[in-house]
Structure 1
Amino acid sequence: MTDDLSRIDDALRTRILADPALLLEDQDIMRALVAANDKAMGQNVVDLRGIAMERLEERLDRLEDAHRSVIAAAYENLAGTNMIHRAALALLDPLDFNAFIAYLSQDLPTILRLDSVQLVLEGAEGEAAAIIGRIAPAVVATGPGFVDHYLTEGRAHSPRPVTLRQIAYGNEGLYGAQAAHIQSEACLRLDLGESRRPALVLLGSEDPHHFDPQHGTELLSFFGGMLERSMRHWLK
């Protein structure tokens, strides 16, 4: 009777012998077999091969996690590249400056999944600034020197073409009613050519992780260059 209970079912035994790889591919079964083997050897025997296998298994788990992270990052980068390409192609559509401003305020936020896009122009103050704001709410007029001061936050260093940062809230003078909800921004500095003051395109998001200083800026640098050339075209 005891022998019958201790024997493996004939059908199961036949299946295992026919395809033993099934056991090797099942981690739970392999752990149970190793544990049974350790128990059979007793506490005074150290199974170095078993220890080595455990460490290899841990390393394999870490490699698999890293592999999944790399794949996820690759998909995210691909998605970001596709969005920038769509935005760049859509930038070719406007036929006049008003259409370009409509692209910034309506199309671009949708394509890049943003909550706000603002164009900051230096040099227009007072009544002229108020007129610009009424005609194009997505355009903000500021005094000379504002762009570089905003990018460097008053520090004595040259502004970068692209600045990514997380913020507690947006500048009300730039983002208007949305300012309190903006928690990260990408600042694209535009060089409009000799004898012209720089401009700034602000991409604002309510997600604090949408724009992170640790993120790469290559795609946004490319897109900023396209915006820069488009602005120069309209300012001719």
Structure 2
Amino acid sequence: MSNSQASIDTTLRDTIIATPDIVLEDRDLMRALVAANERAMGANIVDLRGIAMERLESRLERLEETHRSVIAAAYENLAGTNQIHRAILRMLDPVEFEGFLRDLGGDVADILRVDCVKLVLESREGGDIPSVRRLGEILSVAEPGFVSHYVTGGRNTPVRAVTLRQIHQADAQVYGEVASWIRSEACLVLDLGPGRLPGLLVLGAEDPELFTPQHGTDLLGFFGGVFERSMRRWLS
């Protein structure tokens, strides 16, 4: 063999001949071989097969990235579903209304990983109600029309069952003393049954990215549906 030719280790050569798949499955190695082949052919020759390989490789990389994204989204959705189920089961445990509400700000909030949970009920009687005084950290009473005004920001738009948004200045009527550090919220509008004014369940978070309009609302919609049915039972 002349000095101008590169030699290859005998053991490595035998390994490649015995198991060529180790070369074919190594992208970097195959890319180096294709590039060497193009240089050997010269600048005036177009290697259509090499171009096709590059395009197929690029498409494969995009497919693999999509596959990873789909798998990650599926795991995230499964984790969210389990989280909502656990919160609902805990919410259904109490046998008294006050315990039901107190658990919202305790175990249920912890399971949902939110910093606070607030319940607002519209009433024509005002807020001087014994249960409101006892549960003021969770429950507050507002005048009729408050829920729709709060959720829509006073705009003439439809009231959605679930609204996710980032906020810069939280409403003290809803959040009380913790309003200053709430940066995102989920607003769940409650239908409490015929003849009753609506309610609002608010999940507040210090993290501004926990609730944004880009997030899905299906799981929270399901949670809100279970909650409002539980409230109907307590209020009956």
**What is the identity, as a one-letter code, of the residue corresponding to 2:227?**
L
**What is the identity, as a one-letter code, of the residue corresponding to 1:45?**
I
**What is the identity, as a one-letter code, of the residue corresponding to 1:116?**
C
What is aligned with 2:155?
155
**What is the identity, as a one-letter code, of the residue corresponding to 1:212?**
T
Question: How much does 1:3 deviate?
Answer: 5.6
Q: Residues 126 and 141 of structure 2 are in contact (CA less than 8 Å); yes or no, is this contact kept in structure 1?
A: no
Q: Residues 182 and 206 of structure 1 are in contact (CA less than 8 Å); yes or no, is this contact kept in structure 2?
A: yes
1:39-188 correspondence runs (5 A): 39-123=39-123, 128=128, 132-188=132-188
Aligned-partner SS, 1:2: coil
Q: Residues 126 and 142 of structure 2 are in contact (CA less than 8 Å); yes or no, is this contact kept in structure 1?
A: no
Gaps of 5+ in 2: none
Question: How much does 1:215 deviate?
Answer: 2.1
Distance 1:214 1:196, change over 3 A: same
Question: How much does 1:55 deviate?
Answer: 1.4
Distance in 2 separating the partners of 1:183 and 1:200: 18
Question: How much does 1:189 deviate?
Answer: 0.8
Question: How much does 1:133 deviate?
Answer: 4.3
**What is the identity, as a one-letter code, of the residue corresponding to 2:175?**
Y
Map Cα deviations across residues 107-158 of structure 1 (whole Å, 9 max, x no partner): 1110000011000011166560697245431111111110111112112233
**What is the identity, as a one-letter code, of the residue corresponding to 2:141?**
A
Map Cα deviations across residues 6-64 of structure 1 (whole Å, 9 max, x no partner): 33211111110111000011111111111111111111111111111111111111111
Alignment RMSD (CA, Å): 2.0
**What is the identity, as a one-letter code, of the residue corresponding to 1:26?**
D
Distance in 2 separating the partners of 1:187 and 1:219: 13
Map Cα deviations across residues 78-127 of structure 1 (whole Å, 9 max, x no partner): 11000000011112101011111111111111000001100001116656
Deviates more, 1:79-88 or 1:118-127: 118-127
Aligned residue pair count: 236
TM-score of the superposed pair, with normalisation by structure 1: 0.93
Aligned-partner SS, 1:128: coil
Distance 1:3 1:202, change over 3 A: same
Distance in 1 separating the partners of 2:151 and 2:89: 27
TM-score of the superposed pair, with normalisation by structure 2: 0.93
4+ long deviations beyond 6 Å: none
What is aligned with 2:194?
194
What is aligned with 1:218?
218
Distance 1:178 1:124, change over 3 A: farther
Gaps of 5+ in 1: none
Q: Residues 117 and 201 of structure 1 are in contact (CA less than 8 Å); yes or no, is this contact kept in structure 2?
A: yes
